[in-house]
């Protein structure tokens, strides 16, 4: 379980395909290698992936490797990652940690797309730039997106500003643009979408009542 608060930006430095449709990725990060464990869960641009190897880097920080199976490769953006791809990272939530975002499972529901990026403030002076992104989601998932609700896109917990059909907008403040990969986001980019957990269960309960169980 995660909160959608990105703690580092990792970079894919190696990609290797293995028999059975398995792909292993090595990612560089700024985490202390002493705090990483085999089998640990790290959200990499949204998907919860398991650490299968790790170690220190010569210039500080760590590297870790994760395996992505065919299901993950087919249903997320992981299959398109190449050397140099930058990904938002978050370590799994610990009991007692601050829940500053919202509960995020790391189980990706679908892939969304940035339709446009608009500059809200120019970034002049000490405040930095603010940007509004308009995003389109797969139509079956649009019912889970609510104005002022929460959504996780590429692992970042964001507040929905407006909703219109299968599109919605989010506003990113200068801090978020600076400390996540969203600073590089452009129209046409594909995003891993993790809908709000409570919205998913509420929809399922409503379906159950309508179907008489």
pLDDT tens column, 34-69: 999 999 999 999 999 999 999 999 989 999 999 999
Residue of 69, 187, 203, 206 marked catalytic? 69
Write down the pLDDT at residue 7. Answer: 96
When pLDDT is cut at 50, 70 and 90, the band that residue 200 belongs to is confident
Active site residue 119: no
Q: Which CATH class is domain 8-91?
A: mainly beta
Closest by CA position to 89, among listed 175, 183, 9: 9
Q: Do 110-205 and 8-91 fall under one CATH topology?
A: yes
Active site residue 162: no
Q: Please say if the pLDDT value at position 126 is more than 60.
A: no
Active site residue 41: yes
Provide the percentage of residues in the chain whose pLDDT is more than 70: 94
97-123 pLDDT, tens digit per residue, is: 877 888 899 999 999 999 999 998 766
Domain ranges across the chain: 8-91, 110-205
Active site residue 107: yes
Dist. CA 30–CA 53, nearest whole Å: 16
Three-class secondary structure of residue 32 per DSSP? coil
Q: 133 and 109 in contact (C-beta within 8 Å)?
A: no
Q: Please say if the pLDDT value at position 207 is more than 80.
A: no
Average pLDDT in the chain: 92
Residue of 29, 43, 48, 131 marked catalytic? 48
Write down the pLDDT at residue 69. Answer: 95
* CATH label, 110-205, candidates 1.10.620.20, 3.60.10.10, 3.30.470.10, 2.40.30.20: 2.40.30.20
Active site residue 105: no
Residue of 40, 50, 167, 199 marked catalytic? 50
Q: Please say if the pLDDT value at position 125 is more than 60.
A: no
Write down the pLDDT at residue 210. Answer: 66
Write down the pLDDT at residue 10. Answer: 98
Kindly state the average pLDDT of the residues 82-104.
90
When pLDDT is cut at 50, 70 and 90, the band that residue 95 belongs to is confident
Active site residue 92: no
Dist. CA 123–CA 180, nearest whole Å: 17
Kindly state the average pLDDT of the residues 116-141.
86
Cβ within 8 Å of residue 54, ≥6 positions away: 33, 36, 38, 62, 63, 64, 65
Kindly state the average pLDDT of the residues 153-161.
97
Dist. CA 146–CA 86, nearest whole Å: 29
Write down the pLDDT at residue 171. Answer: 96
Q: Please say if the pLDDT value at position 182 is more than 90.
A: yes
pTM of the full structure: 0.91
DSSP letter assigned to residue 92: P
Active site residue 2: yes
Dist. CA 29–CA 33, nearest whole Å: 9
C-beta pairs of 47-50 under 8 Å, 24+ apart in sequence: 47/72, 47/76, 47/78, 47/106, 47/107, 47/108, 47/192, 48/2, 48/92, 48/105, 48/106, 48/107
């Amino acid at each position: 379980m995660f909160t959608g608060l990105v703690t580092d930006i990792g970079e894919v430095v190696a990609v290797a395909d293995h028999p059975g449709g398995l792909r292993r990725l090595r990612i560089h990060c700024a985490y202390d290698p002493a705090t990483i464990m085999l089998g640990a869960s790290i959200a990499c641009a949204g998907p919860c992936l398991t650490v299968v190897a790790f170690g220190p880097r010569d210039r500080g920080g760590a590297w870790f490797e994760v395996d992505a199976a065919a299901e993950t490769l087919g249903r997320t953006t992981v299959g398109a990652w190449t050397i140099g791809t930058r990904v938002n990272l978050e370590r799994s939530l610990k009991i007692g940690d601050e829940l500053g975002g919202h509960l995020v499972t790391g189980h990706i529901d679908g892939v969304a797309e940035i339709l446009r990026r608009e500059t809200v403030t120019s970034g002049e002076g000490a405040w930095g730039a603010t940007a509004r992104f308009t995003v389109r989601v797969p139509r079956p998932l649009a019912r889970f997106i609510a104005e002022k609700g929460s959504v996780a896109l590429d692992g970042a917990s964001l507040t929905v500003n407006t909703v219109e059909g299968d599109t919605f907008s989010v506003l990113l403040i200068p801090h978020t643009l600076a400390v996540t990969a969203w600073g590089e986001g452009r129209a046409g980019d594909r995003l891993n979408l993790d809908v709000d957990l409570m919205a998913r269960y509420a929809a399922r309960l409503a379906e159950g009542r309508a179907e008489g169980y």
